[in-house]
């Protein structure tokens, strides 16, 4: 979960046997070994005394001897790391991080505190890029605040796997909406149809023991106006974030926002049902906006102030629509319209777990103390909500709407 889901090679691909053999002296045929064993064997060639360190001079010579096989941006990054070690040595763990493209905190600090600045020009100044390269560069500037990370992502991204999670979720939401629209013969404000809540995907307080409803409610939307904004935000914000941070991390934030949204409704708006993917969408968008604000000077996306204002206006309009609908007289009393509290649950996840994920590109989340603090807070909330759902409804003697 803490690893970047689709890292590209930093110097040479672990699975590229030919390139590894070039770095090893006349290797005979041998059974396959783990990638880290390859790095250990290579490291030991430069560390005959088994001290756990090699000189930066030897490391630099290795890079220069194979510079023709390296992308220019990667070579610059690695040379900056070699120059940044004031003690003239590189430890084995940093070496493995380099060769496997898993950059630790010490690796990032070594680059940022290097003795010289990277001499290559910024990505924006690159000319002659094809359409796919321009798209990758655009995504890098949309999501990453550091030039060193943007270059690393630009060189490492292979579109394998593609951003399948957000696209799959979006297609499923559209498919379920169209199916319901045809079966109910209603596409605008479907939630006002008397048979709408009979769907087994909707979260309903009387059916809260059916645990799948805390997640599957995202496939049901109040109407085309509700679905439209969620789909647009998922594609414009969620897909670029997944391209950079991977399906595992972005899927984690999205699902955490969805579950937090339904649990928040079950605690704070106990008599209302829940529909729509706003919990997950608001988790991603709020995390992205918070990351932009926290790294304002480093984010180089165009018209960022205007675009932030537009995003906030759209989110506010959607939230206002949800509040209005919640308190609008129900078409099928005594059951109220769906709750708006799921939006707030998503925002809470976005500005906690989501921000930590987006601020640690290719860094291991398990090494971040803030990550564990927010994971603990989220776990406590989930446990509290579970016990609340088990005991509070009976103790408070609430009058819940009848089951659909």
Burial of 329 (0-12, 13-18, 19+ CB in 10 A): exposed
- Tell me how far apart the 2 most distant CA atoms of the chain are, in Å: 80
Residues annotated as part of the active site: 278, 343
Q: Left if phi > 0, otherwise alpha if psi is -120 to 50, otherwise beta: which for 70?
A: beta
**CB-based burial, 160-173: b 16+ in 10 Å, e otherwise:** eeebebbeebbeeb
Determine the Cα–Cα distance for residues 108 and 106; give it in Å rounded to an integer. Answer: 5
Listed in sequence order, the DSSP H helices in 185-223 are 213-216
Q: Which two structure tokens, joined as six digits, stand for 256?
A: 């955490």
Residue 201 φ/ψ, nearest 5 degrees: -95, -20
Residue 54 DSSP SS3:
strand
The distance in angstroms from the start CA to the end CA of the chain is 38
Do residues 361 and 153 touch, judged by C-beta distance below 8 A?
Answer: yes
376-385 — which CB contacts under 8 Å span 24+ positions?
A: 377/352, 378/256, 378/260, 378/349, 378/352, 378/353, 381/260, 381/263, 382/259, 382/260, 382/263, 384/267, 385/263, 385/264, 385/266, 385/267
């Amino acid at each position: 979960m803490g690893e970047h889901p689709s890292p590209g090679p930093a110097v040479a691909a672990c699975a590229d046997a030919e390139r590894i053999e070039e770095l090893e002296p006349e290797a005979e045929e041998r059974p396959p070994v783990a990638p880290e064993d390859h790095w250990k064997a290579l490291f030991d060639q430069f560390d005959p005394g088994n001290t756990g360190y090699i000189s930066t001079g030897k490391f630099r010579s290795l890079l220069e001897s194979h510079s023709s096989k390296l992308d220019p941006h990667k070579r610059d990054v690695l040379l900056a790391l070699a120059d940044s070690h004031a003690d003239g040595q590189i430890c084995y763990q940093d070496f493995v991080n380099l060769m496997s493209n898993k950059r630790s905190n010490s690796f990032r600090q070594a680059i940022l505190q290097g003795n010289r600045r990277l001499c290559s020009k910024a990505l924006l100044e690159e000319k002659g890029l094809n359409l796919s390269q321009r798209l990758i560069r655009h995504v890098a500037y949309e999501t990453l605040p550091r030039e060193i990370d943007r270059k690393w992502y630009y060189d490492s991204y292979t579109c394998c796997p593609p951003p399948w999670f957000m696209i799959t979720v979006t297609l499923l939401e559209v498919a379920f909406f169209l199916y319901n629209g045809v079966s109910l013969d209603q596409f605008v404000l479907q939630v006002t149809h008397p048979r709408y809540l009979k769907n087994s995907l909707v979260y309903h307080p009387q059916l809260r023991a059916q645990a799948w409803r805390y997640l599957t409610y995202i496939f049901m939307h109040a109407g085309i106006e509700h679905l439209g904004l969620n789909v647009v935000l998922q594609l414009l914000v969620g897909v670029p974030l997944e391209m950079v941070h991977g399906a595992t991390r972005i899927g984690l934030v999205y699902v955490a926002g969805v579950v937090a949204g339904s649990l928040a409704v079950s605690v704070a708006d106990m008599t209302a049902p829940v529909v729509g993917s706003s919990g997950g969408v608001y988790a991603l968008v709020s995390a992205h906006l918070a990351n932009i604000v926290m790294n304002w000077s480093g984010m180089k996306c165009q018209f960022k102030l205007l675009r932030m204002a537009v995003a906030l206006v759209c989110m506010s309009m959607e939230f206002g629509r949800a509040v209005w609908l919640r308190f609008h007289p129900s078409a099928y009393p005594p059951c109220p319209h769906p709750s708006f509290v799921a939006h707030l649950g998503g925002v809470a996840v976005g500005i906690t777990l989501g921000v930590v994920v987006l601020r640690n590109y290719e860094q291991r989340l398990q090494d971040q103390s803030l990550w564990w603090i927010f994971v603990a807070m989220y776990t406590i909330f989930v446990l509290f909500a579970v016990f609340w759902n088990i005991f509070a409804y009976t103790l408070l003697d609430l009058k819940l709407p009848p089951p659909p």
